[in-house]
Amino acid sequence: MEKKFRSFEQSDPSYGFKNLRFVTIKSDNLHGRGDICLYIPDNCPSDAPVVILLHGVYGSAWSWALSSGVHEQVDQAISAGLIKPLILVMPSDGLWGDGSGYMKQKKQDFEQWIVEEVIEATRQIATEQVTEASKFFIAGLSMGGYGAIRLGARHPNLFTSFSGLSSITDISDFSLFVEESLSNYQMDTELSLIDTIVANRAGIPFFRFDCGRDDLLIEQNRKLHKQLLEANIAHVYQEYEGGHSWDYWKNNVMKTILFFNLRF
C-alpha cells in the first residue's frame, strides 16, 4: 500500500491494553499532527466494518475509550455473539480551540481530516482487516454528534449509516460550549443539520439519533426530529433518561452499535 503520510507513529500492540492502539500522523488538512485511537478485536476477520466515533468539545482521541469504555463494551458484545467483529476508530477533532466542529475553517479542514485522512490511516493500520469491501459508519456525541450526522449526510457514498448522541443540531448551539467566535465555523453554507440533511436527501442512508430527557440540547433534538418528519426523511429518534454527560453516553452508545450491526 502506498504510504500517504510523511510521518506515521503507531504504538506497539504488545504494550497496549484492551486491544487499543494509538497513532499519530502528520496531516495535510490539519497542517500538523493528528491523533487516532483504534480498537481492533482479537481474530478480527477481513472485510471488517469500521465505526468512527467522534468526541465532543474539550476532548481528544482518548475520550471515547477512556471515558466510556466503549471498546470494552464492544469486546464483550462480540464475545457474547451479540454483534459481528468490528473496528472502532476514535480520532481527535484536530484540537482546535474548544472544538473544531469537524468543519472546514480558514486554515484547516477538519472535515477532510476525518473523511480522507482518518479513513486512509485506518486502512494503513489494519491492512488485513479493512478492505475495499469494508463498510464505514460514523457516530458521535454532542459536537461529535453534529459532526457525525453532518458528515454522514454529506458523504453518503462513504458511510453506510450514521448516528448522533446528544447532538448539537445548529451552529448557534456551539455558543453553549465554546469561547471561540462562531464566525470560525461559518466557512460552509450548511450550518444546521436539517439544512445539510435536506440538501443531501437523495442519497442519504437510514440513520438514527438520540438524546437524554434532561439534556440541555433536548429541545433542539426534538425540533430536528419534527423537521425530519415534516420533510418525510426516514430516521429513528429515541429519548432516554439522562443528561449531557458521560454517564448517558456510556449507557447508550451500544444502541448505536447494535443499530449499525444490522447493516454490517
How many domains, the chain? 1
Is 263's pLDDT higher than 70? yes
Domain-located, residue 1: no
pLDDT of res. 186: 67
CA distance 159 to 150: 11
User: What pLDDT band is residue 99 in, cutting at 50, 70 and 90?
Assistant: confident
Q: Tell me what pLDDT residue 187 has.
A: 66
- Answer whether residue 2 shows pLDDT above 70: no
CB 114 within 8 A of CB 151: yes
What is the predicted pLDDT for the residue at 15? 78
CA dihedral of residues 15, 141, 81, 241 (deg, nearest 10): 130
Please state the pTM of the whole predicted model.
0.94
Is 253 domain-assigned?
yes
Q: Is position 171 within any domain?
A: yes
State the Cα–Cα distance between residues 46 and 153, nearest whole angstrom: 27
Q: What is the CATH number of the domain that holds 199?
A: 3.40.50.1820
Q: How sure is the predictor about 1, in pLDDT bands with cuts at 50, 70 and 90?
A: very low
pLDDT for 38-63, tens place per residue? Answer: 999 999 999 999 999 999 998 899 99
Nearest alpha-carbon partner for 245 in 58, 20, 52 = 58
Question: Model confidence over 204-226: pLDDT tens digits?
Answer: 999 999 999 999 999 999 999 99
Q: From residue 128, give the alpha-carbon distance in Å to each of 1, 124, 160, 164, 219.
A: 11, 9, 21, 29, 44
Domain that holds residue 73: 8-261
